[in-house]
Amino acid sequence: MKQVEGRYFSLPRCRVLCDAAGTSIISMRKEPFSMHQRWNVYRGNGYDQRDLLFTVKRAHILQSQTELNVFLARNTAEQHCDFKVKGSWLERSWAFYLGDSNTIIAHMSCKFELKSVLL
């Protein structure tokens, strides 16, 4: 992954994730009037409903830690999430869960070093 294209303050908020060659991998669009800050993620460089991969939205409107629900495209009812992401931007650590369970399927953390900031 090389770059993310898109303006932060554009309406609707859209982003395109490209590989090193500049080829679009996924396109992301934020729903403009969503209380849960809903993002739809599509295959390639477009926003056709047929290319929808998954939807991400906050688990709760007000939350102190980041908790996101992920719904795959086939889960149109959105009664139960397919995956859940919990973490903290401050701690730079996130855990990925299978559905609404406590089963962790992946964990990610970012190493932060002061020397990398000073260089």
Q: Would you state the pLDDT for residue 105?
A: 97
pTM higher than the cut 0.85: no
Round to whole Å and give the CA distance between 107 and 42.
24
Which of 70, 44, 77 lies closest to 56, judged by CA? 70
**pLDDT band, residue 118 (cuts 50/70/90):** low
Q: Would you state the pLDDT for residue 96?
A: 97
Which of 82, 81, 86, 91 lies closest to 111, judged by CA? 91
Round to whole Å and give the CA distance between 28 and 56.
10
Task: Kindly report, residue by residue over 33-87, the tens digit of the pLDDT.
Answer: 777 789 999 999 889 999 999 999 998 887 777 899 999 999 999 999 999 999 9
Q: Would you state the pLDDT for residue 115?
A: 60
